[in-house]
Structure formats: structure tokens, C-alpha cells
Amino acid sequence: MVLVMDGHSTDHDLKRITDKLKELGFTLQISRGKERIVIGIIGDTRKLASFPFHSYPGVIEALRVLKPYKLASREFQQTPTTISINNITIGGGNMVLMAGPCAIENEEQINEIARRISSLGVKILRGGVFKPRTSPYSFQGLGKKGIKIMSEAAQRYDLSIITEVMSIEQIDIVAPYADIFQIGARNMQNFELLKEVGRIKKPVMLKRGMSATIEELLLSAEYILSEGNKQVILCERGIRTFESFTRNTLDLSAIPALKELSHLPVIVDPSHGTGRKELVAPMSKAAIAAGADGLIIEVHTNPEVALSDGAQSLDLDSLEKLISELEPIAQAIGSSFYGSYVSI
């Protein structure tokens, strides 16, 4: 259930109704806007059927949210969520570019990538230190050593960090260094992990599972939101279909669909979405045109010898070219782009 109050309600009015609802055993999520205050009421709301909401000052209406995901829905919050990280804003018309290698391989590699992407105006460095690989014999990442050298490179070139955590035990290792936690496609429905990152007050980018519906993605986001973490970013990274030419099928229709159903920002991963470097640029452009809030792209100093996902990684010159081509698309739809083209 969602309770809507006048945005000019006093703190006293808000406290009266929230204290009463808490007394009745409900968990509350409060979203403050200029025109209204929205209170998400979590619990068995059937016992509120005869509750005298309108006897409380400031209350406009009480609505039942019919969708199974409550806090992620547009019914709960009509205005788009924006997330601020180190003077970067994700969502609300600000397009952000995250770039870096699939896996951190060594200090020289990550420093060269960090230097180049920083010179191009990219603000967020992505890179894997714990790698979920299909084969147990594939490179699994550098672990704690990897996050340390990634952090040093990011500090050197004034970049923020996004990296994946695969288990609850990895959160404490990554938390001192990462600005954004990434939950990968294989862990989209690892509910205990989702609840744990929901208790950490850091942004979380949640990737859509390779066989997950849009509703299942939003329900997974609900696990994080229901624990109190409102800084959730959705990521479309392709789904598994019968097509074998591409690694996955990038579902561009998910972008406007998620925008209609949810207030959460949407990032697109054209690297995993296609698995082919020659398709990354056109699908990046299409994603921006479709309304994505940004992109996460895999790049490597030498993709041919990459220890992970070289076939879908751009080299640094190709990234530079792509950024220059993305600028006019972002401008055409009235957005700003955190990843400005800078000649080097």
C-alpha cells in the first residue's frame, strides 16, 4: 500500500501517521518530493481496510499497489530516481558511461585503461576482481589483490569504481574500495545476497538474469529496496534466446518498458548483450536512443590476449571513437553525457 501526503505537511503531521503505522507493525519507506510525500507501507495491509487515513492531517489518499513489486514501481514513486556518486548523477537525464576490463589482470593493464578512459571524460571504472566463469578452469580474477590495484588506479585518475560481488563474504572485502556494487546476472535471484547489499548504504547495479523476465528483475530489485537501500540501478545485459550468432539477445524494448514500470535508472551492457565487439557500438547508440541512463562497456588494452571476454571487448581507440559518436545522440534527445569526448 502507498500513502500519499501533501508535500507541505509538517514534520509533526508525518510523525503522527508514521508512528501509528509502526505501532501497528508495518515497515515504512518514505519518499519525499516537492509536491508530495509518499509512504510505502510494507506488511499485511488487509488490516488497514478500515483505517481512518483521512483523519490524519496532510493525508491525500491511500492506494493499493497492485504490482507484486511495490517500492520499485511507478505507483510508489512517479519521479525518476537519481543516484549521486562523487559528483556524478545517474538517472534523471544524466547519461553515464562505465568502462573497463572484464577482469583486472595486472597493475599495468588497469592503470593504462584508467588513464585512457579518464582522458576521454569517463567517470566510472568497471572491472572484475571476482569472476563467475562458466568453466572452473577459466581465469577467476585476482580477488583482494585485484580490488586494491583497481582502487589505486581509480584514485590516481579520479575515477569511481563499480565491481561485482558474488557472495555475502565478498562484500566486506570490496566495500572499502567500491563506489557501486554490481550484482551479476547469475546472482540476480541470490536473495540472501540481495538482502545483504540492501543493508549496505552503497549504490547497487542489478543485472538482469539471462533468462529472467522484466517482472522478475523488478522483484529482485525489490529485495534490495525493502532492506532500506534506495540506490538501485537496473541493468539490461541481454537474455538467452534461440539465436546463436550473438552471445545473448540484447532486449532494447526492456529500456522503455522498465522506464514505464519503474522509477529506477536503467543502464545497458552491450558487451554481454551481444558478445561481439563489432556490435557494441551500434547497440550502444540504439540503447541511448531508446532512453537508457547510461552504458557499461568492456574495454581492454589488447582484447586479443584478454584473459576474459576478449571477443566482446573494445580496444581503447575504438572506445574513443564510440564516445565521439554517442555525444550527438545524447544531445538529440535532450540529455547530458558523463563521458565527454576529449581529444588526446
pLDDT of residue 137: 59
CATH of the domain at 21: 3.30.70.1140
Q: Do 102 and 234 fall within a single domain?
A: yes
Q: Do 58 and 102 fall within a single domain?
A: no
What pLDDT band is residue 339 in, cutting at 50, 70 and 90? Answer: low
pLDDT of residue 263: 96
Q: Average pLDDT in the 222-243 region?
A: 95
Pull the grid cell for residue 51: 483505517
Domain of 57, in residue numbers: 2-63
pLDDT of residue 139: 66
Dist. CA 220–CA 218, nearest whole Å: 5
Contacts 24+ apart (CB under 8 A), 72-76: 72/218, 72/221, 72/222, 72/225, 72/232, 72/262, 72/263, 72/264, 73/218, 73/261, 73/262, 73/263, 74/260, 74/261, 74/262, 74/263, 75/2, 76/2, 76/29, 76/31, 76/38, 76/40, 76/263
CA-CA distances (angstroms) from residue 151 to 144, 298, 316?
11, 18, 20
pLDDT of residue 331: 86
Q: Do 147 and 236 fall within a single domain?
A: yes
Q: Do 31 and 157 fall within a single domain?
A: no
pLDDT of residue 335: 80
Q: Name 20's Cβ contacts closer than 8 Å, sequence gap at least 6.
A: 56
Domain contains 77? no
Domain contains 72? no
What pLDDT band is residue 341 in, cutting at 50, 70 and 90? Answer: very low
**% of the chain beyond a pLDDT of 70:** 95
Q: Do 197 and 272 fall within a single domain?
A: yes
Domain contains 87? yes
Q: Do 29 and 102 fall within a single domain?
A: no
Domain contains 251? yes
Q: Do 113 and 181 fall within a single domain?
A: yes
Q: Do 290 and 332 fall within a single domain?
A: yes
What pLDDT band is residue 211 in, cutting at 50, 70 and 90? Answer: very high
Main-chain phi, psi angles of 286, to 5 degrees? -65, -40
Q: Average pLDDT in the 124-146 region?
A: 79
Q: Do 52 and 127 fall within a single domain?
A: no
Domain contains 254? yes
CATH of the domain at 317: 3.20.20.70
Q: Is 341 exposed, middle or buried (0-12, 13-18, 19+ CB in 10 A)?
A: middle
Beta-ladder partners of 89: 84
CA-based torsion, 326, 92, 113, 237: positive or negative: negative
pLDDT of residue 99: 97
On the question of pLDDT at 344 being above 60, the answer is: no
On the question of pLDDT at 6 being above 70, the answer is: yes
Which of the two residues, 67 and 299, has the higher pLDDT score? Answer: 299
Q: Average pLDDT in the 308-333 region?
A: 93
pLDDT of residue 26: 92
pLDDT of residue 342: 42
Q: Do 190 and 254 fall within a single domain?
A: yes
Number of domains in the chain: 2
- Stated pTM of the model: 0.88
Q: Average pLDDT in the 283-296 region?
A: 96
Going edge to edge, which strands form the sheet with 27-32? 27-32, 36-42, 2-6, 59-63
Q: Average pLDDT in the 203-223 region?
A: 97
Domain contains 323? yes
Q: Average pLDDT in the 241-268 region?
A: 97
Look over the chain and give the mean of its residue pLDDT values, rounded to a whole number.
Answer: 92
Domain end position, chosen among 63, 92, 107: 63
pLDDT of residue 93: 83
**Of 2-6, 41-45, 218-222, which one has max mean pLDDT?**
218-222
Q: Which pLDDT tens digit goes with each residue over 29-65?
A: 888 877 888 898 988 888 898 999 999 999 999 988 8
pLDDT of residue 92: 87
Q: Which pLDDT tens digit goes with each residue over 14-31?
A: 999 999 999 999 989 888
Q: Do 23 and 142 fall within a single domain?
A: no
Domain contains 39? yes
pLDDT of residue 318: 97
pLDDT of residue 164: 95
Q: Which pLDDT tens digit goes with each residue over 138-195?
A: 666 788 899 999 999 999 999 999 999 999 999 999 999 999 999 999 999 999 999 9
The 8-class DSSP code of residue 137 comes to T
Domain contains 76? no
Lowest mean pLDDT among 85-94, 249-258, 291-300: 85-94
Q: Do 54 and 124 fall within a single domain?
A: no
On the question of pLDDT at 281 being above 80, the answer is: yes
- In 165-277, the DSSP E strands lie at 180-183, 204-207, 232-236, 266-268
What pLDDT band is residue 225 in, cutting at 50, 70 and 90? Answer: very high
